[in-house]
Structure 1
């Protein structure tokens, strides 16, 4: 019941000895995540909280501790180097929590990861400027409060951290657990976008519905709506933040920029509705909208099953009648008499005449 991270995740923490890194690492360990290593240059050979071994490099952490996932808690100026080092070490997933990474650095990092994947690697980055990723009950990587989550079958993708927590709290209150929650980040350049995450949930047999939380700026939600319309086989619920944001005022994430009149909340909501996505009008409706979508999806499936049963019942009598008619026709067929040829008849007559003589 997980996407990207789960019970097999072995986590290394880059920046484990910093104030942010140490605080959140303790919370991550407390949740039950398997933290196998920390990475801080110059502090290799020591232990974090007398439990977690610290290495000087990511490569050492992978080779000696078996790490397959990394989370980055380093200052923005050093984030690019941390991402590239993690990618080169051989991990599969890199979760970048850091906010304020220069756009140029993120372009470099994204291009580097794409080149690695073209060469045969399969490495994925989540973030930056994100709350992280969690598979409830198994693995938490990031800064989200673990206690509000409940294991279940609803996937969540969000550009906003706080709205993620709000949606999760509503779902949990309704008894709707989550398969995996992914905070993709609010920056213009991110490692995993809406379509990437939506595709993962669409292919996950343990996810029944997906909620996507977007916001003004860019066209990520519109392009994802097109994907949903063409390929999604599960109900999708959407919410767009920033409908009441005053024009011309600077606020929110770095990616929340409306340029040339495009990327407005109205554009995104329209695209979602045209794609058949259930749209919540306010944050308070996110949970109930997911429940509605799931109920309608179950009703449709039940109706399809009933129709299929009726069709099969109708076809069965026809097949039985056909078998019966075949049996009757077989009974009525007359027994064929052996026909005697003309030559044989004349020979028999001649033999009778000879006997009489």
Structure 2
């Protein structure tokens, strides 16, 4: 069992003819993902690496039956690419693009929320169901099939957590990188709900960071609703107030969004919090024993 994607997912790639888009398309296909189409306006009718390219998402969906989009469109056009995926009625759009203007995302998010399309990202590593389907830029070889769900704001820390889990024999059901921008699609709670309902996910590891209140909100939801063990790590304990750290959304402002506050709330809500990025696997193992 998996959430969001599995071996049967039919994927189109918006921005497939760009350097990054093509490279990661090939990586995903090599992993076993069903890449059925690409979309680049004005390039319709060609094939890249044997994959047909269409001018529009609607056209690609009509001819291939694609239900999921992976977006590698440059920042200036990425919000429009999200809206095109929504307009075509896709089940899921995963936007990898970093640097989309916040103003563009405010509008895109407002429209996307009224559509049937779920959005992961932007500025995220993607989604992977180990052994079945990879949709994004994560290194596939570190993931192992299993029953631990992973949800994270950080790309690099996701890879570190997954490697530790895999080395401990704790495979993953699905790993979701929700992205580190101020305006994103699925948030922690959205993904936690799906893991909570997934009969083959036994526990969840959550990775947060400074900025915003998403982790505190997730902690309270976990306390009130989660039926499965949760462990977590919060990045940015030493981050100074007012300085953006890595992600556009990772900034402490107005005295809010501090790592210590997030850690305290998570612990009060029953979540096992790792004290170090080198001990994330240990924290998950501890949570499983509770």
**Counterpart position of 2:97:** 98
Contact 2:241 2:253 in 1 (8 A): no
**1:271 equivalent in structure 2:** 265
Question: What is the DSSP-based 3-state SS (H/G/I as helix, E as strand, rest coil) of the residue aligned with 2:200?
Answer: coil
Given the alignment, which residue of 155, 163, 174 partners 1:161? 155
In structure 1, distance between residues paired with 2:12 and 2:259: 38
State the shift of 1:257 in Å: 1.5
Q: Secondary structure at the match of 1:36?
A: strand
Partners of 1:251 and 1:209 in 2: how far apart? 29
Structure 1 residue runs without a partner (length 5+): 117-121, 297-357
Q: 1:218 aligns with which of 185, 190, 212?
A: 212
Shift in Å at residue 247 of structure 1?
3.3
**Structure 2 residue 128 is the aligned partner of structure 1 residue 134:** yes
CA apart distance, 1:115: 2.0
Per-residue deviation, residues 43-88 of structure 1 (Å, max 9, x unmatched): 1111111x21111110011010110000100110001111111111
Distance in 2, Cα, partners of 1:292 & 1:19:
42
Aligned to 1:338: none
Greater helix percent: which structure?
Answer: 1
Residue 293 of structure 1, CA deviation: 1.4
Q: Indicate the residue corresponding to 2:82 in structure 1.
A: 83
RMSD in angstroms over aligned alpha carbons?
Answer: 0.8
TM-score, normalised relative to structure 2:
0.98
Distance in 1, Cα, partners of 2:66 & 2:24: 18
CA distance in 2, matches of 1:248, 1:225: 24
Structure 1, 79-88 or 149-158: larger mean CA deviation: 79-88
**Equivalent residue for 1:176?**
170
Number of the residue aligned with 1:124: 118
* Deviation for aligned residue 1:8: 1.7
Q: Does 1:188 align with 2:187?
A: no
Q: Compared with structure 1, are the counterparts of its residues 249 and 114 closer, same or farther at alpha carbon in structure 2 (3 Å cutoff)?
A: closer
3-state secondary structure, aligned to 1:267: helix
Per the alignment, residue 327 of structure 1 pairs with: none
Given the alignment, which residue of 164, 178, 193 partners 1:199? 193
The SS at the match of 1:263 is coil
The structure whose Rg is larger is 1
Q: CA deviation at 1:248?
A: 3.9
How far is the alpha carbon of 1:245 from its aligned partner?
1.6
Larger strand fraction of residues: 2
Residue pair 2:232, 2:272 contacting (<8 A) in 1 also: yes
Aligned residues: 290
For the residue of structure 1 that corresponds to 2:114, the secondary structure is helix
CA drift at 1:187: 0.4
1:266 positional shift: 0.9
Question: Secondary structure of the equivalent of 1:115?
Answer: coil
CA offset digits 1:186-228 (Å, max 9, x no partner) = 0011000000001010000010000110000100000000100
- State the secondary structure of the residue aligned to 2:113: helix
Q: Distance in 2 between matches of 1:97 and 1:124?
A: 14
Secondary structure, aligned partner of 2:175: strand
Structure 2: runs of 5 or more not aligned: none
Matching residue of 1:313: none
Q: Secondary structure at the match of 1:70?
A: strand
Residue 148 (structure 1) aligns with: 142
What corresponds to 1:31 in structure 2? 31
Residue in 2 that maps onto 1:245: 239
1:275 deviates by 0.5
1:311 aligns with none
1:53 aligns with 2:52: yes
Q: Among 256, 259, 264, which residue is 1:262 paired with? A: 256
For residue 289 of structure 2, what is the aligned residue in structure 1?
295
